[in-house]
C-alpha cells in the first residue's frame, strides 16, 4: 500500500515562468515506516507533502497511493486518497473549523458520510489517542499550541488514515509542545500508522526510520538517520544542523572519553556513556 | 466553565439554557414582531414581567441582563429626546423659548424608550443562554426548507461558524499588530477622528493580509479533510425537540398571542385595567 512517487515533477504555474518546486522525484514510502523529510526553506517539502494526498497533482510523473494515481478528477477517488493520507499543517489556528473540539473532530467523518453513532466512537478513540479526552466539550481557543496540534492530529485520526503527514506541525511550538506532538506521532507509529514528518529540527529526524533530505526540489539524501548524518559533506552542503547529541558525542570523544563520535540519538549516547565506564 | 470565549453566553445550566435553540430563536422572532405592535402601557408592563420571569427561570442575574441595555443607552437617549421635543399634539406642558413640550411628546418618548429596551432584553436573553454554535446550528436547521430552492444552507451555516471561530483569533491578532506598531512609535490615541482613522491603516493592512492567508490555509485544511459543499454529509449533532421544549414554546406563543391580540380581547383588557385602578 505504500505511497509511491515515480519521476514526479511539480511546477507552480506563474505568469512569467513556472516555479519548479519538485523536480523528478522518485521514492516509495513503506507501510508502517517513520519517514522524516528535511531541507532548507523553499526546498519543496510542503509541495511534496501536498502531492501525497492529491491536494496538488503532479505536472509530470505519477504519485500513487495504494496503487491508485492521485491524478484524478473524480471527487470520490480523491476523497478515498485523502482519507488514507491524513495531513496536519503548521499553524493550528488556521486548520480548525469548529468552536468546540468535539465538533472539530467530527468534521472529517461527517464529510466522509460516516454514520452518527460511529462518529461518536471515533471522537472518543481519536481524542484518547492524543490524550485530549478531557477537553472534548471545550473550545480549542484556550489550549496551548501543543494541545491544539494534538487536536488537529485527532481530527485527522478520526478519519482512520493509514498515513499521517505532519507538515512542520511542530515548527510553531515551544519545546514542550513539540515534545508532546512528537510523542503522539511515535505512539501512533507504534500502533501501525505510517508517519511522514516534515521538519526543520534535526533532533526529530534522529528517531525516524528514514531521513529524506530535499534541496531545490530534489531528493539529495535518503537513508537511515545514521547514514545521512555520517555524510558530513552532504550535511554541510545542504546546510543541515546536526542534532546536539552528535556535538556532545564528538566533544566527549575529543576529551578522551572512549565512545564513538558519531552518535545521533539520546538513547544511543546514554548507552555509549554507560558502556564507556 | 472555560469553554466559551466569545459572545455573552452566561452558563447557569438552567432549563432555558437547555431548551432547543430553534424554539428560542423562533420565540425571539415572534417577540420582536409582537413588541412592534404594542401600543399601551399595560402590555409593555405585561411583556416586561414576562421577560423578567424568563430571566428568573434562566437564573440570569438582573445586573447581567441590564448590562446588555447599556450598549443602546445612547441610542435610547437620542431618540427619546428627539421625540420629546419634536412631537406635537396633546396638551402643551412646557414652553421655554423655542422649546415646546407636549403631553404626546412625553408619551412618545416613554413608549419608545420602553420599546427599545424591551427589544434589547429578550434577544439578549437568547444570547445569554445560547452559545453561538447552538445558534448557528439552529439557523441551519430552520433554514433547511430553503434547500429546496437550492440555497446552500450548510455552506452558509459553515461560514457563520468559521466566522465565529475566527473572531477571537483576529481580535488577538489586531492587538498584537497594534502593539507592534506602537513599539515602532505609532500613536493611536491622540488627534482627531481623521488622524485616528489614518493611524489604523498600518494595523488594518497586515490584518487583512493575514486574514487572507488564514483563509487560504483553512481552505487547504478543509480540502485535506474531504470537505465538499455538494457531497452528502452526515451530521454528528442532531437536535431533538423534547416535550419540555414544546411546552416552553407554547407558553411563549400564548403570551405573545395575548399581547398581540389584546386590542381585540376587550374583556381581558378592561379586566386588567380594573385591576390597576
Ligand atoms: N502557491 C505557490 N505559488 C507559487 N510558488 C510557490 C507556491 N508555494 C510554494 N512555491 C514555491 O515553490 C518552492 C517550494 O515551496 P515549498 O513551500 O514546497 O517549500 P518548503 O520546503 O515547504 O519551504 P518551507 O520550509 O518554507 O515551508 C518555493 O520556491 C516556493 O517559493
Ligand atoms: Mg513548507
H or E stretch covering A194: strand A194-198
- Domain positions in chain A are 3-230, 242-277
What is the model's pLDDT at position B242?
Answer: 86
pLDDT given for residue B5 in this prediction: 41
CA nearest to B229 within chain A: A111
pLDDT of residue B2: 36
pLDDT in tens, A28-68: 999 999 999 999 899 999 999 999 999 999 999 999 999 99
Nearest Cα of chain A lies from the Cα of B231 at a distance, in angstroms, of 8
CB pairs under 8 A between A and B: 109
> From the CA of A168, how far away is ligand 2's center (Å)?
7
Q: Which residues of chain A have a CB within 8 Å of the CB of B164?
A: 99
How far, in Å, from the CA of B202 to the mean position of ligand 2?
28
The ipTM is 0.87
Q: For residue range B165-217, list pLDDT tens digits in order.
A: 888 888 888 999 999 988 988 888 887 888 888 888 888 999 999 999 999 99
CB atoms within 10 A of CB A255: 7
- Find which of A72, A94, A122, A152 to mutate to test the B interface (most B CBs within 10 Å of its CB): A94
Residues 6+ apart with CB under 8 A from B95: B101
The list of chain B residues with pLDDT below 70 reads 1-7, 263-273, 276-277
Angstrom CA distances, B239 to A117, A134, B129, stand at 14, 23, 16
Cβ-based neighbour number of residue B154 at 10 Å = 16
Range with the poorest average pLDDT among A53-62, A95-104, A157-166: A95-104
* A152: nearest Cα among A166, A162, A138: A166
Rounded CA gap, A95 and A169, in Å? 11
Mean pLDDT of chain A: 90
Q: Which atom of ligand 1 is nearest to the CA of A43?
A: 21
Spans of all domains in chain B: 1-129+257-277
pLDDT at B1: 35
Task: State the pTM of this model.
Answer: 0.80
Determine the Cα–Cα distance for residues A37 and A35; give it in Å rounded to an integer.
7
End-to-end Cα distance, chain A: 46
Closest protein CA for atom 18 of ligand 1: A44
Using left for φ > 0, alpha for ψ between -120 and 50, and beta otherwise, residue A44 falls in left
Distance CA(A257)–CA(A273), nearest Å, equals: 8
Q: What is the pLDDT of residues A219-241, one digit of tens each?
A: 999 999 888 888 888 888 887 77
Burial level of B203, CB count in 10 A (0-12/13-18/19+)?
buried
| Amino acid A152: pLDDT | 96
B260 or A213, greater pLDDT = A213
For chain B, the average pLDDT equals 85
Q: How far apart (Å, rounded) are the C-alpha atoms in residues A107 and A159? A: 9
Residue A94 has its nearest CB partner, among B218, B224, B228, at B218
Taking a C-beta distance cutoff of 8 angstroms, is the pair A36, A212 a contact? yes
Residue among A13, A19, A37, A38 whose CB has most ligand 1 atoms within 8 A, to mutate: A19
Contact assessment for residue A134 and residue A88, using Cβ atoms and an 8 Å cutoff = no
Which residues of chain A are within 8 Å of residue B227 when distances are taken between CB atoms? 107, 111
| Nearest residue to A181 (alpha-carbon basis) of A192, A194, A162, A168 | A168
**What average pLDDT does range A147-170 have in this prediction?**
96
Query: How would CATH label the architecture of A3-230?
Result: 3-Layer(aba) Sandwich (3.40)
Amino acid at each position: 500500500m505504500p505511497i509511491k512517487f515515480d519521476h514526479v515533477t511539480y511546477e507552480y504555474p506563474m505568469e512569467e515562468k513556472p516555479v519548479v518546486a519538485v523536480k523528478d522525484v522518485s521514492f516509495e514510502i513503506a507501510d508502517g515506516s517513520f519517514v522524516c523529510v528535511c531541507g532548507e526553506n523553499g526546498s519543496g517539502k510542503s509541495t511534496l507533502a501536498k502531492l501525497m494526498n492529491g491536494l496538488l497533482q503532479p505536472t509530470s510523473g505519477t504519485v500513487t497511493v495504494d496503487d491508485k494515481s492521485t491524478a484524478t478528477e473524480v471527487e470520490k477517488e480523491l476523497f478515498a486518497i485523502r482519507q488514507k493520507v491524513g495531513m496536519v499543517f503548521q499553524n493550528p489556528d488556521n486548520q480548525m473549523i469548529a468552536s468546540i473540539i468535539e465538533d472539530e473532530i467530527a468534521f472529517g467523518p461527517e464529510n466522509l458520510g460516516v454514520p452518527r453513532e460511529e462518529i461518536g466512537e471515533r471522537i472518543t478513540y481519536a481524542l484518547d489517542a492524543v490524550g485530549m479526552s478531557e477537553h472534548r466539550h471545550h473550545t480549542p481557543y484556550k489550549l496551548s499550541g501543543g494541545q491544539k496540534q494534538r487536536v488537529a492530529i485527532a481530527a485527522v485520526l478520526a478519519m482512520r488514515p493509514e498515513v499521517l503527514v505532519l507538515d512542520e506541525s511542530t515548527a510553531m511550538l515551544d519545546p514542550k509542545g513539540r515534545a508532546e506532538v512528537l510523542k503522539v506521532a511515535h505512539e501512533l507509529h507504534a500502533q501501525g500508522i505510517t508517519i511522514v514528518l516534515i521538519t526543520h529540527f534535526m533532533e526529530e529526524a534522529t528517531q525516524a526510520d528514514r531521513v529524506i533530505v530535499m534541496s531545490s526540489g530534489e531528493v539529495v539524501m535518503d537513508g537511515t538517520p545514521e547514514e545521512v548524518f555520517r555524510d558530513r559533506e552532504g550535511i554541510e552542503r545542504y546546510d543541515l544542523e546536526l542534532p546536539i547529541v552528535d556535538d556532545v558525542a564528538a566533544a566527549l570523544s575529543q576529551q578522551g572519553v572512549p565512545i564513538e563520535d558519531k552518535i545521533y540519538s539520546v538513547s544511543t549516547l546514554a548507552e555509549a556513556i554507560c558502556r564507556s565506564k | 466553565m472555560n469553554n466559551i470565549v466569545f459572545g455573552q453566553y452566561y452558563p447557569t445550566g438552567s432549563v432555558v439554557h437547555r431548551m432547543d435553540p430553534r424554539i428560542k430563536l423562533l420565540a425571539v422572532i415572534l417577540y420582536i414582531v409582537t413588541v412592534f405592535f404594542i401600543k399601551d402601557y399595560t402590555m409593555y408592563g405585561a411583556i416586561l414581567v414576562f421577560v423578567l420571569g424568563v430571566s428568573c427561570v434562566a437564573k440570569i442575574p438582573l445586573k447581567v441582563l441590564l448590562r446588555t441595555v447599556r450598549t443602546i443607552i445612547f441610542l435610547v437617549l437620542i431618540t427619546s429626546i428627539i421625540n420629546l421635543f419634536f412631537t406635537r399634539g396633546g396638551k402643551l406642558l412646557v414652553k421655554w423659548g423655542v422649546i415646546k413640550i407636549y403631553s404626546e411628546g412625553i408619551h412618545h418618548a416613554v413608549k419608545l424608550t420602553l420599546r427599545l429596551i424591551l427589544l434589547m432584553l429578550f434577544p439578549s436573553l437568547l444570547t445569554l443562554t445560547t452559545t453561538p454554535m447552538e445558534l448557528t446550528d439552529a439557523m441551519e436547521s430552520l433554514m433547511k426548507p430553503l434547500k429546496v430552492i437550492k440555497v446552500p444552507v450548510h455552506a452558509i451555516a459553515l461560514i457563520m461558524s468559521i466566522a465565529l471561530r475566527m473572531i477571537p483569533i483576529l481580535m488577538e491578532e489586531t492587538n498584537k499588530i497594534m502593539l507592534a506598531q506602537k513599539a515602532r512609535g505609532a500613536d493611536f490615541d491622540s488627534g482627531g477622528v481623521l488622524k485616528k482613522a489614518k493611524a489604523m491603516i498600518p494595523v488594518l493592512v497586515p490584518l487583512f493580509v493575514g486574514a487572507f492567508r488564514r483563509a487560504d490555509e483553512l481552505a487547504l485544511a478543509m480540502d485535506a479533510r474531504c470537505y465538499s459543499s455538494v457531497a452528502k454529509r452526515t451530521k454528528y449533532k442532531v437536535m431533538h425537540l423534547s416535550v419540555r421544549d414544546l411546552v416552553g414554546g407554547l407558553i411563549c406563543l400564548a403570551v405573545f398571542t395575548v399581547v398581540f391580540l389584546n386590542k381585540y380581547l376587550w374583556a381581558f383588557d378592561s379586566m386588567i385595567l380594573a385591576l390597576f385602578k
